[in-house]
Amino acid sequence: MKIKQLYIAAIALLGTGALTQQANAQLLEEKGKFTHADTLRGMLTPLRTCYDINYYHLDVKFDIDKKFISGSNQFKFTATEDFTKLQFDLFDNLKIEKVVYKGKEVPFTRDGNAAFVTFPQTISKGSRDEFTVYYSGNPTIAKNAPWDGGVVFKKDSLGKPFVATACEGVGASIWWPNKDHLADEVDSMMISISVPKGLKDVSNGRLRKVTQLRDGYTRFDWFVANPINNYDVVANIADYVHFGDTYMGEKGKLNLDYWVLPYNLEKAKKQFAANVKPMLKAFEHWFGPYPFYEDSYKLVETPHLGMEHQSATAYGNKYLNGYLGYDMSGTGWGTKWDYIIVHESGHEWFGNNITGKDLADMWVHESFTCYSESLFIEDNWGKAAGQEYNFGLRKGISNDSPIVGVYNVNKEGSGDMYPKGAVVLNMVRTIINDDEKWRDIMRGLNKTFYHQTVTYDDITGYISKQAGIDLSSVFDQYLHYKTLPVLEFTKTPDNRLLCRWIAEAKDFKMPIRVKVKGGEFKFITPGTGFTPVNLAGATKDNIEIDTLNYYVGVLMD
Ligand SMILES: [Zn+2]
């Protein structure tokens, strides 16, 4: 997620990206208007880099009637330098009861959604230490999850509580205290959620223990054995029933665990059986082993549409194919499978395994995952089908602000990171022109950056290096600028055909497939100065470019 509601509304209602364009125009306007609070939230300051988070134990009770939560989070960390003060994050509508260090309360201050703890002694570089934050309050209620964040308090059709958390973008500190920056992930985590008796909680990882508490609550302890980003940490509370299956994958036996509302059990069995194993087969083929075998693969029915909660994918697609029944590509290929199962699970590789260090690089999550849909189609119905779907995604592109967002202020880029990102990746594959190499690159990304957080340069640099082609100006143009490069053709007085690229990216150079009408495609590699089109017999009238796979403008002088 969260492929914009705006985006789907725009396509469904208007047939264009008009609403997305509005949103993107707003994004542009907002540039340069960031606040102190945005910096506290988005910047890796010394008060955050002084400690490396190793482990959280989040222990929270949900009083659903009062929409009230209370509990604690234990922070275990390694000091990366000597320090006495650090920052953690918790939305200011939630009360910090106390911060406890070595059995004693220590002083803290708050500045908006940031909190600062001062320790009684210097914590020395290299030492492993811990503190615990106790907190409570009425968390922000998400009115329109997953597009806004917070806690969803709904009822199922039988009137029983149906509760979920969702906080991508806004951040996990909307409901629990943590170091709320994408760059730092714990190595493992315990999530203990207490719920009124009769209900169940499903969180990430594996269920270790269920404890009946004296106050009428039941506590569910879930252990996550792998690094996890904060926004993936989830509480899902309902009258769930469970069913399971296994998948023999690249790393052996993978447990598949499904948690759904009891009255949807039969529908769920059918829909999950039809989609999950084909998805795992396609993605393990293209991206390598599912990254979290130790934590199992799960789908959890939620009162919102969906989210990539690691090893506990949120599912709210109403057991329909497509995106709530809708084909995002308009080609017919988009309704042959369940969009939420495929897309959100794609994030296990891109988003959860490989996580952008800064929200500005959310395209690392969404561009690759949106592209994974084309690869899923290719694995099931062939390459041409995948390309057709990918081409169809263009109708969702608005091209009015860059895909890369603003660094250090927790600001993601344009919603174009979904469809345009997917289209660009298909184009890069076309440039590389070697499907085995492309697959090696997809798998290599997941292996090289396994369970890591990454930057723009990490990802684009890796692809260029493995491809053996300098693609830096291609990524620069498509990710940092809103406009498309234009291939301009002209002719000399003696009728020789010339071409060049017009682009904003410095020294833009992109190989492109062209042919003389009726002939075979061949690559030419224009730069920004006019050079002859090295293709026998080519004229302005008979030259064709591979517009199925290239997303460019063309200008004939
Ligand atoms: Zn997504």
Instruction: Count how many Cα atoms sit within 13 Å of the Cα of residue 92 in the half-sphere of its side chain.
Output: 10
Burial class, 371, CB count within 10 angstroms (exposed 0-12 / middle 13-18 / buried 19+)? buried
Band of residue 2 on the pLDDT scale cut at 50, 70, 90: low
- Specify the pLDDT at position 286: 98
In a domain, 253, yes or no: no
- Specify the pLDDT at position 557: 87
For the chain, the first-to-last Cα distance in angstroms comes to 42
Return the closest-CA partner of residue 221 out of 238, 204, 237: 204
3-state secondary structure 314-367: EECCCCCCEECCECCCCCCHHHCCEHHHHHHHHCCCECCCEEECCHHHCHHHHH
Strand order, beta sheet including 543-545: 522-524, 512-516, 543-545
Contact 485, 479 (CB under 8 A): no
| Ligand 1 geometric centre to CA of 168 (Å) | 10
Structure token pair of residue 55: 């482990």
Residue 25, pLDDT > 70, answer no
| Ligand 1 geometric centre to CA of 436 (Å) | 26
- Specify the pLDDT at position 253: 98
Structure token pair of residue 453: 């957080």
Residues 443, 534, single domain; the answer is no
Question: Tokens 């592209």 — which residue?
Answer: 371
C-alpha pair distances (Å), 339 with each of 10, 334, 336, 514: 18, 8, 9, 34
- Specify the pLDDT at position 7: 44
Contact 530, 557 (CB under 8 A): no
Residues 387, 517, single domain; the answer is no
Higher pLDDT among residues 419 and 14, named by residue:
419
Residues 373, 511, single domain; the answer is no
Predicted confidence (pLDDT) per residue in 255-298, tens digit: 999 999 999 999 999 999 999 999 999 999 999 999 999 999 99
| Ligand 1 geometric centre to CA of 365 (Å) | 7
Could you give the CA distance from residue 129 to residue 361 in angstroms, rounded to a whole number? 31
Residue 6, pLDDT > 60, answer no
Q: Which of 4-18, 152-166, 408-422 has the lowest mean pLDDT?
A: 4-18
Higher pLDDT among residues 33 and 198, named by residue:
198
At residue 306, what are phi and psi to the nearest 5 degrees? 165, 160
Residue 18, pLDDT > 70, answer no
Q: Which CATH number characterizes residue 369's domain? A: 1.10.390.10
| Ligand 1 geometric centre to CA of 1 (Å) | 3
Residue 8, pLDDT > 50, answer no
Among 212, 238, 264, where does a domain finish? 238
Residue ranges of alpha helices (H) inside 382-455 are 383-392, 419-432, 435-448
| Ligand 1 geometric centre to CA of 291 (Å) | 17
- Specify the pLDDT at position 262: 98
| Ligand 1 geometric centre to CA of 288 (Å) | 19
Residue 220, pLDDT > 50, answer yes
C-alpha angle with apex 206: 174 to 76, nearest 5 degrees? Answer: 55
Among 423, 457, 480, where does a domain finish? 480
Mean pLDDT of 106-125: 98
Higher pLDDT among residues 227 and 32, named by residue:
227
| Ligand 1 geometric centre to CA of 355 (Å) | 12
Residue 5, pLDDT > 60, answer no
- Specify the pLDDT at position 30: 56
Residues 440, 472, single domain; the answer is yes
- Specify the pLDDT at position 22: 47
Protein residues within 5 Å, CB atom, of ion ligand 1? 1, 366, 369
- Specify the pLDDT at position 152: 97
Could you give the percent of the chain with pLDDT greater than 70? 94
| Ligand 1 geometric centre to CA of 410 (Å) | 17
Could you give the percent of the chain with pLDDT greater than 90? 93
Contact 73, 133 (CB under 8 A): yes
Residues 95, 221, single domain; the answer is yes
Predicted confidence (pLDDT) per residue in 521-544, tens digit: 999 999 999 999 999 999 999 999
Residues 449, 527, single domain; the answer is no
Residue 9, pLDDT > 50, answer no
Q: What share of the chain is helix, strand, coil (3-state, %, to 5)?
A: 30, 30, 35
Beta bridge partners of 497: 491
Could you give the CA distance from residue 44 to residue 408 in angstroms, rounded to a whole number? 7
Band of residue 10 on the pLDDT scale cut at 50, 70, 90: very low
Could you give the CA distance from residue 270 to residue 24 in angstroms, rounded to a whole number? 39
Residues 62, 76, single domain; the answer is yes
Predicted confidence (pLDDT) per residue in 36-75, tens digit: 999 999 999 999 999 999 999 999 999 999 999 999 999 9
In a domain, 230, yes or no: yes
Residue 375, pLDDT > 90, answer yes
Residue 16, pLDDT > 80, answer no
pTM reported for the whole predicted model: 0.94
| Ligand 1 geometric centre to CA of 294 (Å) | 23
User: By residue range, what is the domain housing residue 75?
Assistant: 38-238
Burial class, 124, CB count within 10 angstroms (exposed 0-12 / middle 13-18 / buried 19+)? exposed
Mean pLDDT of 335-351: 98
> CB neighbours (10 Å) of residue 196?
16
C-alpha pair distances (Å), 435 with each of 329, 432, 441, 529: 23, 8, 10, 30
The total number of structural domains in the chain stands at 3
Contact 49, 80 (CB under 8 A): yes
Band of residue 192 on the pLDDT scale cut at 50, 70, 90: very high
In a domain, 405, yes or no: yes
| Ligand 1 geometric centre to CA of 415 (Å) | 11
Mean pLDDT of 143-166: 96
| Ligand 1 geometric centre to CA of 385 (Å) | 21
Contact 236, 207 (CB under 8 A): no
Among 195, 217, 238, where does a domain finish? 238
Residues 80, 226, single domain; the answer is yes
| Ligand 1 geometric centre to CA of 298 (Å) | 17
Known binding-site residue numbers for Zn(2+): 343, 347, 366
* Residue 79 per-residue DSSP state: E
| Ligand 1 geometric centre to CA of 340 (Å) | 9
- Specify the pLDDT at position 31: 57
In a domain, 77, yes or no: yes
Band of residue 413 on the pLDDT scale cut at 50, 70, 90: very high
| Crossing angle for the helix pair 419-432 and 456-467, to the nearest 10 degrees | 30
Residue 442, pLDDT > 70, answer yes
- Specify the pLDDT at position 20: 45
Residue ranges of alpha helices (H) inside 234-334 are 265-287
| Ligand 1 geometric centre to CA of 462 (Å) | 22
- Specify the pLDDT at position 33: 84
Could you give the CA distance from residue 50 to residue 453 in angstroms, rounded to a whole number? 17
In a domain, 430, yes or no: yes
In a domain, 429, yes or no: yes
Residue 26, pLDDT > 80, answer no
Higher pLDDT among residues 147 and 299, named by residue:
299
In a domain, 248, yes or no: no
Contact 132, 176 (CB under 8 A): no
C-alpha angle with apex 243: 237 to 246, nearest 5 degrees? Answer: 125
Residues 96, 153, single domain; the answer is yes
Known binding-site residue numbers: 343, 347, 366
